[in-house]
Amino acid sequence: MSDQSLIRNFSIIAHIDHGKSTLADRILEMTHTVDARGMRDQVLDSMELERERGITIKAQAVRVAYTAKDGITYQLHLIDTPGHVDFTYEVSRSLAACEGALLVVDASQGVEAQTLANTYLAVEAGLEIIPCLNKLDLPGAEPERVAGEVADLLGEDPDAIKRISGKTGMGVEEVLEELVLRVPPPSGDPDGAPRAVIFDSEFDQYRGVVAYIRMVDGTLKKGDAIRAMAAQTEADIDEIGFFTPKMTATDKLTAGEVGYVITGLKDVTLLRVGDTLTTKHHGATEALPGYKEVQPMVFCGLFPIDGDDYPDLRDALEKLTLNDAALDWQPETSDALGFGFRVGFLGLLHMDIVRERLEREYNLELIGTMPSVGFEVTLTNGEELEVHNPSDFPDPQRVAEVREPFVRAQMLMPKEYVGTVMELCQEKRGEHAGMHYLSADRVNLEYDLPLSEIVMDFFDQLKSRTRGYASLDYEITGMRASNLVRLDVLLGGDAVDALSMLVHKDKAYAFGRTLAEKLQKKIPRQQYDVPIQAAIGSNVVARETVKAFRKDVTAKCYGGDISRKRKLLERQKEGKKRMKQVGRVEVPQEAFLAVLELGDK
């Protein structure tokens, strides 16, 4: 089918847990896209980790045939979007492949930070937005209040907003009717030079890179020689098709359609999200707008506990990179931790996911250093540096200016928490940027904050100070000059490079003192006293000592029960697993993250 007037391309956008995947499942079920037997919950979240964590990481696209009440069968493409702040760019590209969006808001919760962020992205992309209040089956649902919030956000009539339950299916059909009526069909040129936007790409071990595309103009056919305009990649189309949600091969995709191409390329960076595909011969000369190379924003060092695993860690990173164009890494040597890699991520969730996959799927035991952001440094001789690792920070004498990334954060919360959240933002060097009421008692607070503070423990603090009631979203707004200094930690007199960090000068002393206290509790007793010092340059700002231990763990066994003794020794070994020998001192993984707990003294 290629009559554009019958195509509707849409996404479902929502705050985390508001029920996006459940609604998608219901739509697939109601349109018989997936039969009852093939139906498992959340068909669209295919990655194992994704399922386990209940979050959507990869955007997916399914073709659905829907016969509306007017008797016409429409071809709907449901494009799933990642639901997390780390993947904003991917969300924006998925939305660029659509003409409409279903905005799902949990009627027992209300408008949250990602509701706003995703709505803004959808408005920016010029989409027709159909709001739905979800989870109406819950006794705690407050559709009237939440309809008011959504109505304010979109300028809609609160009574016209759909009331649905993704769980029971109530109201879902009405939403599809509305979608067919209100979302405009695609309007590209079916006879023009082919142009398709890549809104996702993934690596399949057997088939190579699968690029998810939305045809904007013209036609792409099996066998066509194609070109990715930004990456300058050329390849032939081995297979072209669409998702039902199974991959279903076809001979061509034409303007308005959504599907995939397989080319045999082996590296996702060759077909990047946001790039435009055209044909090599008689192709388009102008790419579709909006392509951007994503930059890693958060960095951390990853080191194998057992140095022999270094080559395995490299292999594992290479494999993950095949499927993750946003992952960036290079070898790093640390005096303390040996050989490892400095890895760049889009954000903290991305970092957690990659670490977990390395440990789980590749069986690696890793020490991860404190996450840090990328800094820009201008030296006194005018030279510019990018610093991704605090231990590479130049001698302060040579530094003319340091700049760090700032974000504009939006925090939504009940009004009684505004005071405590403002206090938190001030502590984290925030600048107030705005505040308004969403409804009588819910407030949207905006602050400009350094990303480095968010990376530390901001989200946890926000959650704990608002008893879980606040939601957060942010976007990077640019670099700003800051007065930062490097704080070093010395164990047994030796500086441990992996524990260095950049902190604001005004906070450095207090920070150093608390950090030394935390480390003193984290580092187990050893055969001798271990002095811990925090220093800025040669200036020691704090000092603590881990006293030598007096008792042997096995001393209590009286040498009698040999199996018990072995067990104890084994347990001790187990506990040591996540230890790293740093000079003469054994340091556990948690010490490297001690700084994350500085807030909750």
Ligand X SMILES: Nc1nc2c(ncn2[C@@H]2O[C@H](COP(=O)(O)OP(=O)(O)OP(=O)(O)O)[C@@H](O)[C@H]2O)c(=O)[nH]1
Examine residue 54 and tell whether it contacts ligand X (CB under 6 A).
yes
- Beta-strand relationship, 7-14 and 73-79: parallel
Nearer to ligand X, 106 or 544 (CB): 106
**424-443: which residues touch ligand X (CB under 6 A)?**
none
Pick one of 4, 9, 11, 21: the residue that binds ligand X (CB under 6 A): 21
> Amino acid identity of 213?
I
Examine residue 522 and tell whether it contacts ligand X (CB under 6 A).
no
Stretch that binds ligand X, among 51-59, 332-340, 510-518, 575-583 (CB under 6 A): 51-59
* DSSP 8-state code for residue 359: H
Q: CA dist 260 to 42, 88, 100, 200, 220, Å?
A: 21, 22, 20, 9, 11
Examine residue 165 and tell whether it contacts ligand X (CB under 6 A).
yes
CB atoms closer than 10 angstroms to residue 160: 10
Nearer to ligand X, 104 or 594 (CB): 104
CA within 13 Å, CB half, 379: 11
Nearer to ligand X, 60 or 389 (CB): 60
Nearer to ligand X, 23 or 96 (CB): 23
Nearer to ligand X, 55 or 102 (CB): 55
Pick one of 128, 137, 312, 392: the residue that binds ligand X (CB under 6 A): 137
* Minimal distance, residue 137 CB to ligand X, in Å: 5
Nearest alpha-carbon partner for 577 in 436, 367, 352:
367
Nearer to ligand X, 114 or 279 (CB): 114
Pick one of 166, 344, 368, 430: the residue that binds ligand X (CB under 6 A): 166
Examine residue 131 and tell whether it contacts ligand X (CB under 6 A).
no
**138-157: which residues touch ligand X (CB under 6 A)?**
138
Nearest alpha-carbon partner for 501 in 531, 535, 478:
535
Stretch that binds ligand X, among 164-172, 198-206, 250-258, 298-306 (CB under 6 A): 164-172
Q: What residues are designated binding site for GTP?
A: 17-22, 134-137
E strand segments, 440-552: 442-450, 471-481, 484-491, 494-495, 501-504, 530-536, 539-546
* Minimal distance, residue 168 CB to ligand X, in Å: 7
* Minimal distance, residue 565 CB to ligand X, in Å: 48
* Minimal distance, residue 138 CB to ligand X, in Å: 5
Beta bridge mates, 11: 79, 101
Report the chain's C-alpha Rg in angstroms: 27
Examine residue 17 and tell whether it contacts ligand X (CB under 6 A).
yes
Q: How many residues bind ligand X (CB under 6 A)?
A: 19
* DSSP 8-state code for residue 41: S
- Beta-strand relationship, 585-588 and 579-582: antiparallel
Examine residue 508 and tell whether it contacts ligand X (CB under 6 A).
no
Report yes or no: 24 and 45 within 8 Å, Cβ to Cβ.
no
* Minimal distance, residue 81 CB to ligand X, in Å: 9
Nearer to ligand X, 121 or 302 (CB): 121
Tokens found for residue 296: 């890693």
Pick one of 8, 10, 11, 14: the residue that binds ligand X (CB under 6 A): 14
Report yes or no: 282 and 227 within 8 Å, Cβ to Cβ.
no
Question: Residues 6 or more apart from 438 whose CB is under 8 A from it?
Answer: 110, 111, 149, 152, 153, 412, 444
Examine residue 352 and tell whether it contacts ligand X (CB under 6 A).
no
Alpha carbon distance 385, 504 (integer Å)? 19
Pick one of 9, 11, 33, 56: the residue that binds ligand X (CB under 6 A): 56
Pick one of 31, 134, 391, 471: the residue that binds ligand X (CB under 6 A): 134
Stretch that binds ligand X, among 17-25, 181-189, 232-240, 253-261 (CB under 6 A): 17-25
Tokens found for residue 332: 């790093």
φ, ψ of residue 471 to 5 degrees: the values are -120, 155
Stretch that binds ligand X, among 163-171, 497-505, 554-562, 584-592 (CB under 6 A): 163-171
Beta bridge mates, 217: 195
- Give the 3-state secondary structure of residue 34: coil
* Minimal distance, residue 258 CB to ligand X, in Å: 20
Alpha carbon distance 533, 518 (integer Å)? 12
Alpha carbon distance 164, 170 (integer Å)? 5
Examine residue 167 and tell whether it contacts ligand X (CB under 6 A).
yes
Alpha helices in 414-561 (DSSP H): 418-427, 451-453, 459-465, 505-522
The secondary structure of 211-275, three-state, reads EEEEEEECEEECCCEEEECCCCEEEECCEEEEECCCEEEECEEECCCEEEEECCCCCHHHCCCCC
* 187 CB-contact burial (10 Å; exposed 0-12 / middle 13-18 / buried 19+): exposed
Stretch that binds ligand X, among 12-20, 354-362, 399-407, 410-418 (CB under 6 A): 12-20
Nearer to ligand X, 12 or 534 (CB): 12
Q: What residues are designated binding site?
A: 17-22, 134-137
Pick one of 18, 163, 342, 518: the residue that binds ligand X (CB under 6 A): 18
* Minimal distance, residue 309 CB to ligand X, in Å: 33
Stretch that binds ligand X, among 160-168, 213-221, 274-282, 463-471 (CB under 6 A): 160-168
Length of the chain: 601
Examine residue 118 and tell whether it contacts ligand X (CB under 6 A).
no
Pick one of 55, 102, 183, 496: the residue that binds ligand X (CB under 6 A): 55
Nearer to ligand X, 309 or 473 (CB): 473
Pick one of 4, 7, 10, 20: the residue that binds ligand X (CB under 6 A): 20
CA within 13 Å, CB half, 308: 0
Report yes or no: 368 and 415 within 8 Å, Cβ to Cβ.
no
* Minimal distance, residue 82 CB to ligand X, in Å: 8
Examine residue 357 and tell whether it contacts ligand X (CB under 6 A).
no
Pick one of 83, 259, 430, 512: the residue that binds ligand X (CB under 6 A): 83
Q: Which residues bind ligand X (CB under 6 A)?
A: 14, 16-22, 54-56, 83, 134-135, 137-138, 165-167
